[in-house]
Amino acid sequence: MDKRKFLTRSEIRKILTATQTGTHPARDNCLFRLCFFHGLRVSELCNITLTDLDMQQKIIYIRRLKNGLSTIHPLTEDVIPFLNLWLSKRAFTRNALQPWLFPSQKGGAISRQQIYTLLKKYGSIAGLTIQPHPHMLRHACGYALADLGVDTRLIQDYLGHRNIRHTVIYTATNAKRFYGVWQK
Catalytic residues: 41, 66, 135, 138, 161, 170
Q: Which of 168, 174, 173 is nearest to 155 (CA)?
A: 168
* CA dist., res. 66 & res. 39, Å (int): 14
End-to-end CA distance of the chain: 41
Q: Cα-flanking dihedrals φ and ψ of residue 21, to 5°?
A: -90, -10
Alpha-carbon torsion angle 150, 170, 123, 130, nearest 10:
150
